Copies of this chain bind each other. A is one copy, B any other.
Amino acid sequence: MTVYMREMTWPEFAARKDDIIIIPVGSTEQHAQHLPLCTDAVIAERFAAALAKEVHGVVMPTLCYGYKSKPLSGGGPLFPGTIDLNGETVIRLAYDVLMELVRDGFHKILFMNAHFENEAFLVEAMDLVNRDTKGFATIVETNWWDPMPPDVIDRVFDEVPFPGWAFEHAAVTETSLMLYFAPELCHMDRLVDIKNAEPLPYFRYPLYKTDVPECGGLASAKSSSAERGKIIVDSVIPEVVKICKKEFAPKH
């Protein structure tokens, strides 16, 4: 039996009203020379599918376009192939999808986000839906990095130091996840080994080409491997299962 809503007929989906509906949220965004533009979308969808298998959930069609890529967390908008939605668009898109689910009686919904910049706008949509539906549904937003147990960092960064989450764009964790999930889309031969970008404690506009290394990555992806990707998935999924158990239990 498929976990993907898209492959279901409507009676099959209608039968799942009390199950957890998982909405993967990714982006269409440059991921350096070696990873494809769908990197965030693939990672979101595959984490969603892995979770769905554990909690008897349903995976909705992935939101493939996301909020604006920032230079120091996603490489920024100056690369062709980065397709950025405005904040209001992301809010409305997420709002409409949530409202449709709630109108049909679904009451356990989880956003599985793989593009950090989406977060504030997804949560705004959740807040608005919650108000407009008087809290009918329990709605959770999470991702694959926040629930990660702390020791996983050490296990994944056993060869190179962890550069901080902001720079994990097209770097060791994302590359490892893609090598695990979709090796056929990875071009490790094109990997450009770069010095990690320098963190900036502020945002500044206009953006400059020089804000981001020319290749598009923010930190070295050397030492990436499918095994390390598997370590991440295998350790994150149980944590998200715990979240589901806690939050989607009968209401307070």
Contacts and interface: CB of A to CB of B under 8 A. Distances in A.
B93 A142 contact: no
A61 B80 contact: no
Q: Which of A64, A106, A208 has the most CB of B within 10 A?
A: A64
A146 B201 contact: yes
A14 B124 CA distance: 25
Contact of A8 (B11, B81, B139, B216): B81
Contact of A84 (B6, B81, B100, B210): B100
Interface of A: 5-11, 13-14, 17, 28, 30-38, 41, 60-62, 64-65, 68, 70, 77, 79-89, 91-93, 95-97, 100-101, 104-106, 117, 119-121, 123-124, 126-130, 135, 138-142, 146-148, 185, 187, 190, 201-206, 208, 210, 216, 239, 243, 247, 252
11 contacts: A7-B36, A14-B79, A80-B105, A83-B96, A86-B124, A89-B92, A89-B93, A120-B120, A130-B205, A138-B205, A142-B201
